[in-house]
Structure 1
């Protein structure tokens, strides 16, 4: 199988896997236990916390380990809501957020919060003017995803954060897709909370990091919670966190070389697509405001689900959107947020590159898409 679904999940890095096994067999104590074995696990845990604080260039006291991006998004947003700086019940988010944020916003809406869901432009980005117009005197929180998981566009989170800071508005950003692919330190310093997930940068599934500004007086979501300084309940996954930290270190070291390599793969892919007999479209932008490894696209007249099945039959793994959205009858949220609806929205599918993607595989996939397009055009 030629894997082109890295935006959904990445294989576990082998060095990180070795760290996981070593930590699982040698650091067996609960990090909350007071005996020597517990202290050893606690020390390892704190060294991992220090490393993520270094990678993000934030205060160590604001780093909390989670089970992944979804939990980090939920607890990060709820933490900020417990620490809002002014009276109000208005929240701004985007219409294309990950389901963990979008569904939480719908739940909060049902509980009396007023939620504004911002659309995206044709380039897949939120316009600053659109955001500013949505802000009201009672706006207390903003949650904007940094990198879109379906088309790879990067949102102007830093500029939005600057506006929020001058208006006493707290801001959270889902950075699951961007961490490990582009430098994050300046963005991390600009927001009040962010979330990342280990399996998006070759760490183990079930691991993640949430950052919440330690200078905020946030309250635990569940009273009486002792793990992670009250941020979340449950025994801390020390081996998984150690492996995730190793994966994060490697991803950070490879950011520049991998970015350039994958950008070249994107160019090769686009050049190969010129063989398509049916018109095709790549959504997003080709500027620096784009993760090159995520290609959200459509072939006119061909449903994305058909493309997925045909690719799978020929040994290529692509997707029709985020894995958390798969199985729903509705099109990808990104399409609706960009104003693409109906039959055109259902033509969407996603190709995503990663560390093991080779140029020859990219050319093969491009030719396969051309043959699929040609068959449909001939019918």
Structure 2
């Protein structure tokens, strides 16, 4: 019966699941498993040889010639030693040892280990082909090494059962390893995707903060330029007025430097968690202070606020309106120095919010123009588009420059 076991299973070694691995490094677990398989195989070879050479006819399984016992023992030891390389050449080793399954009792356990390795580490089609070949050789084994107490068919059936059990066990182990590998790859992929999402979110946040700071800095620097220009063109101004303008310039410069320091710190930070919390963003309620800054710089600004239910205005919508007005005032100071500016806001829930900034088109040469990147209106257009609104800018029928935006304002 044990002979039948040996016969049917040539095999392969553990490698990769369905694919060939290039000389994988043997782990501690692999060393332990291989050592155990080798020792069990050697023990089986010694036990089977002792039984075959026993003088007791009830224990001995006599071979026609005495030298066959020794030859079978050497074949069994050779197969046991081959277990150390079965991980590298599984299929080749299985095919090379396949003829031994027809007659060798001593090589039974090593051949089963090789066969199990094939099932675990090779495709199902390969495993089934090796199994079919082993079942054929098992039939010859039962003829050449018959069991004294069992019939031919009983021994053959036992060999088939053992082969199928090893096949089922190997396929289960392979399926489990594939599942574990798939779950590990999925977890690694999910972790990589999460890191990518975090990096993208961090980059988007830094870009947003940089855009916000661009708007703020452009506004403050335009105020600085306006005050400095007033001092340049009025060197005979009263001392109190000069001191007041100098104080405004100093305060605006200090605020601009603080804003610049913050945005550079954000863009340089490797870990967004290390950045200090962002300052509260301005909303429509901060528009009077923004207009006050421009008035303090000498710009004539008329603010008309006709917004109904302003307390229900979403914060994001109010922030967008604030940035539109800020950009409009900055452009007026840059390109229409001395011109009066009208800022008008009107709207209500469900009707939408309309923001309009209007100033006279400059006539003749203006003071030295304030340099700019020319991307302010592009940024405003992007904000309005993200909010789902519409933006218009340019000269209207009266010749004024008009910057107008409509933003949707949901009822809830």
Relative to the length of structure 2, the TM-score reads 0.20
Structure whose CA Rg is larger: 2
- Greater helix share, structure number: 2
- Greater strand share, structure number: 1
